Amino acid sequence: MITDEKIAELDEVIAQEKRVAAREMQSEAWADGMMEGIETEILADAAIATALEELIRTDGENSALLLVENLRDRIIAGEFIPGRTIQ
């Protein structure tokens, strides 16, 4: 019998796989932009603006604001520092 806990675990595995796939796709787009000579700040601005526009279109402004707040907290925590190791 499949329990609610097992379903939740499976849902989390699927969500994690989607996050990995999305990061890979974004990394490829980023590399393409860099090869075209687009500066990192311009790429970052375009990526963030596109993501926020789509999120607002599909889920509304509150969802986008929650994402921005979450990203701010993650930046402050050092999550995006290259080569960062979790202790």
Q: Which of 37, 36, 44, 20 is nearest to 52 (CA)?
A: 44
* pTM strictly above 0.85: no
Q: How confident is the model at residue 83 (pLDDT cuts 50, 70, 90)?
A: confident
Where in 1-87 does DSSP place strands (E)?
none
* Residue 50 pLDDT exceeds 90: yes
Q: How confident is the model at residue 86 (pLDDT cuts 50, 70, 90)?
A: low
- Whole-angstrom distance, CA of residue 30 vs CA of residue 83: 19
pLDDT at position 1 is: 80
Each residue's pLDDT tens digit, 62-80: 999 999 999 999 999 999 9
pLDDT at position 87 is: 60
46 touches 34 (CB < 8 A): no
What mean pLDDT do residues 35-42 have? 97
- Whole-angstrom distance, CA of residue 66 vs CA of residue 63: 5
- Whole-angstrom distance, CA of residue 83 vs CA of residue 69: 23
User: Rounded to the nearest 10 degrees, how much is the dihedral formed by the CA atoms of 75, 81, 85, 87?
Assistant: -30
